Amino acid sequence: MKHFWISVLALLCVTTHANSQERPQAFTGATIIPIAGPAIMDGVLVVHRGKIVAVGPRASVRIPADAQTTNATGKVIMPGLVDSHSHIGGGSGADGSAPIQPDVRLLDAIDVRHSSIQRAQAGGITTANVMPGSGHLLSGQTLYLKVRDGRTVDDLLIRDAQGQMLYGIKMANGTNSLRSGAAAGPFSGTRGKSAALVREQFVRAQEYREKVRRAGNDKSKFPPRDLALEQLVAVLDRKLIVHHHTHRHDDIMTVLRLQKEFGFRVVLHHVSEGYKIADEIARAGVGSSIIILDSPGGKLETKDYSPVTGAALDRAGALFGFHTDDYITDSRLFLRSAALAVRNGLSRDRALYAMTMANARLLDLQDRVGTLEAGKDADFIILSGDPLSVYTHVLETYVEGVRVFDLADPKDKLYATGGYGAGRDEAVHFGCYGYMEGN
């Protein structure tokens, strides 16, 4: 009988989500921060079938007659947060067999029923670049996800117009990817050798690409298929973005040299000493995904970390966004990154931009997410107050018009506040209906 009700609840959940898209939804009276322009007082947001239909002052927005209207007076609505570097889902990438493994897919390792997905929703995150770790020079392929409830990873994937899933490549340098002694195996023990190994693999990819080009349509002349080199060729052809973990200023410069040599697209991640070379980063025309910490420490290579990096990159004219590196920053506390950056010299508008549209640009998703504009995905959050206030809470989170988090729901509140039962990943998850224990 229990399995019967499990099936019924799952069906009802899907039906509820579908029905919520049939009627337009209008949110009225809120202060709306669209990111694409100044804040709108007494604003109206209209969404329908997963897209934003209209946004603006109450006097200028026509609310459809059949719309389901929500009074959001006294609250703040802004775009869903975009996390350009996260580890939610408990996935892992490359193993100890080699330092460079482009063929490894996080797709094959992520658990979308992991409690960290719900924590991200509780923090207002609606889009995330979920990464493998940084213990390798190249640890595999990332995943661009919508942070919605799903039964399998396919339910969360972001796809292009041709239906292909979108992702990047995770690389790293510095301390994490170094090994020493007899256990090092094929891994590098020095920074110089790390760069040499990367350069060697990209040269192999260039040669592989040339062999394929020369073969033309003659399959008999094709080189043996190499899944790893295929991914590096996609990087060389600028079809995939390299998301590169790097901390020290000298390591950052190494990444910029490799990027210039091979012409690939890169986003620098962490850049703990980015403030030391902000002008060089800006001249290279690359973006940065940075982390804001309230209690720095840990690795020796981050001893010169400073929260002023955001302001320094902004002054230099470089694109940058914030990330959680969850759990380094808990996804539920992501908005604090903007507040701490403002405390360290960044303007309020640029800080909120870095949480939303800047990260969308770093992931090539700027046409779909990052601002509240007609035609974009209906990803937004409703806040109790000023997004930079420590007293503000995420009240509701919507992904493509579907509410995935509601602080008023005790089950969702558990993820927002923590406590017993908030991490019960072994339970069966039904999205809008919470958890039901198995046998």
- The CATH number given to whatever domain includes residue 387 is 2.30.40.10
Say if residue 207 is in the same domain as residue 226: yes
For 162-209, the pLDDT digits (tens) are: 999 999 999 999 999 999 887 788 999 999 999 999 999 999 999 999
**What is the per-residue pLDDT for 298?**
78
Task: Classify residue 367: in a domain, yes or no.
Answer: no
The domain boundary residue, chosen from 315, 335, 362: 362
The domain boundary residue, chosen from 336, 362, 388: 362
Task: Classify residue 370: in a domain, yes or no.
Answer: no
pLDDT band at 231 (very low <50, low <70, confident <90, very high): very high
Geometric angle at alpha carbon 279, from 253 and 370, rounded to 5° = 95
Task: Classify residue 369: in a domain, yes or no.
Answer: no
For 352-405, the pLDDT digits (tens) are: 999 999 999 999 999 999 999 999 999 999 999 999 999 999 999 999 999 999
Mean pLDDT rounded to a whole number for the chain: 92
Say if residue 240 is in the same domain as residue 132: yes
**What is the per-residue pLDDT for 407?**
98
For 77-100, the pLDDT digits (tens) are: 999 999 999 999 999 999 999 999
Alpha-carbon distance 430 to 438, whole Å? 12
**What is the per-residue pLDDT for 12?**
46
**What is the per-residue pLDDT for 239?**
98
75 pLDDT higher than 70: yes
3-class DSSP state of 398: strand
Four-residue CA torsion sign, 314, 316, 317, 321: negative
pLDDT band at 436 (very low <50, low <70, confident <90, very high): very low
**What is the per-residue pLDDT for 424?**
67
Asked which of 84-93, 215-224, 271-280, 428-437 is least confident by mean pLDDT, the reply is 428-437
Geometric angle at alpha carbon 289, from 83 and 131, rounded to 5° = 55
Q: Which residues neighbour 150 within 8 Å (Cβ) at sequence distance 6 or greater?
A: 112, 156, 431
439 pLDDT higher than 50: no
Say if residue 184 is in the same domain as residue 325: yes
**What is the per-residue pLDDT for 419?**
83
Asked which of 23-37, 315-329, 413-427 is least confident by mean pLDDT, the reply is 413-427
For residue 178, give both structure tokens. 């170094």
CATH number of the domain to which 290 belongs: 3.20.20.140
Domain count, the chain: 2
Alpha-carbon distance 417 to 119, whole Å? 9
- Give residue 397's domain range: 2-79+378-436
Task: Classify residue 373: in a domain, yes or no.
Answer: no
296 pLDDT higher than 60: yes
Say if residue 134 is in the same domain as residue 91: yes
**What is the per-residue pLDDT for 434?**
40
Alpha-carbon distance 85 to 62, whole Å? 38
Say if residue 386 is in the same domain as residue 335: no
Say if residue 75 is in the same domain as residue 102: no
- First and final C-alpha spacing in the chain: 12
Say if residue 344 is in the same domain as residue 243: yes
Say if residue 331 is in the same domain as residue 192: yes
Task: Classify residue 372: in a domain, yes or no.
Answer: no
pLDDT band at 15 (very low <50, low <70, confident <90, very high): very low
Mean pLDDT value of segment 1-11: 45
For 309-328, the pLDDT digits (tens) are: 999 999 999 999 999 999 99
Share of the chain above pLDDT 90, in %: 87
70 pLDDT higher than 90: yes
pLDDT band at 57 (very low <50, low <70, confident <90, very high): very high
Mean pLDDT value of segment 210-225: 95
Say if residue 397 is in the same domain as residue 356: no
Task: Classify residue 8: in a domain, yes or no.
Answer: yes
Say if residue 344 is in the same domain as residue 414: no
Say if residue 164 is in the same domain as residue 19: no
Mean pLDDT value of segment 58-80: 98
Mean pLDDT value of segment 123-145: 98
Task: Classify residue 368: in a domain, yes or no.
Answer: no
Say if residue 49 is in the same domain as residue 144: no
247 pLDDT higher than 60: yes
The domain boundary residue, chosen from 362, 393, 408: 362
**What is the per-residue pLDDT for 184?**
84
Helix axes 191-215, 227-236, angle to 10 degrees: 90
